[in-house]
Structure 1
Amino acid sequence: MEKIPIGLNFFIPMPVVLVGTQVAGKANFMAVGWITRANGNPPMIACGISNNHYTVKGIGETKTFSVNIPSSDLLEKTDYCGIVSGEKTDKSQVFDLFYGSLKTAPMIRECPVTFECRLVQSVLLPTHTLFIGEIAGVYADGDVITDKKPDFPEIDPLFLTMPDNRYWTLGKYTGDAWSAGKNLIQR
């Protein structure tokens, strides 16, 4: 099929997380879709946050943040945290919070998986800052772990697609990574 130019749109499905931090000593959360693994050892996560967001101030103050993976039953609260600013709205009471060893990275008890991160580097870009954090702790509900591995259908994560601005859930299993293509290797 012939390819047609469609402009500079984002067509990468993005996992949706809630990034938490403290701003002026108060917990704050925002929905973030620009997130990825950044390093294997030590384990690191990178998230891109618009420079005008209130959360940027908190990460700069505390040098810590959390990454919370909401399940689909938290869709309404997740979207709420993406459409209201912590500068004008206190979001510290939206969730049941807990803290790990870092003490300044608020995590969400209702999320099946949470990470607390220590800021390693901030990369200032024209519209966003890319925050790279070393994972200092990972916490999960027991029912989303099978054979010591994450059970993604049980986690039931959310994904965001743009430019249609829609949320999705995980699809069906289709094959194993680093295995499905072995038949094509020339021997």
Structure 2
Amino acid sequence: MTDETIDDLMDATYRALCKHGYAELTMQDIAEESTKSKGTLHYHFEGKRDLLESFLEYLLDRFEERTETIPGETPAERLHAFLDELLTPSDDESAEEFRTAILEIKAQSPYNEAYREQLAEFDRTLHDRIEELIADGLESGAFREDVDPDETADFLVTLFHGAQTRATAVDRPPERTRQYVHAYIDETLRPDGASGEDAPTENNGENRE
């Protein structure tokens, strides 16, 4: 399958998930959002589950590419920027529908090993990126010596997942969580007396391109 075909089918899957959600989604729905036929979908994928497994893998690959280079001159700045990226809602009008569809997929993971493995890989990727940033901060003296990179990364990943779930399930915008996360970095992770100038201003996430 060519890269062009992969991109077309994955983009179509995204649009179809936004429109129909996980439970009602069909291969025909995806084909209607694609330039390819339903027959082409079935040629490459056994069914909806197989396609969505590939879709989750595709999302992870794109996330890794997008966050390969994190802006910021210091480890603290890069940690702020990375978490800002995670907790700033997309301007895409269909983003809310997509979050709902992903939550539905997560609900299926206890019964689908492939979904569970892809979601676990995303979780590990988040953890490792944050752990690396904190370790860099410890080495440079930006963070307190008693900060544990593994435990702190685990806490921040858990917080991110909780914020995403609450945003979908009870309509609690993640912006408030983002503000507390930035305060946590400056007030808990950084040494006493360290400046909070690395933290984004309240509107930085909202005005981000």
Q: TM-score, normalised by structure 1?
A: 0.26
Greater strand content: 1
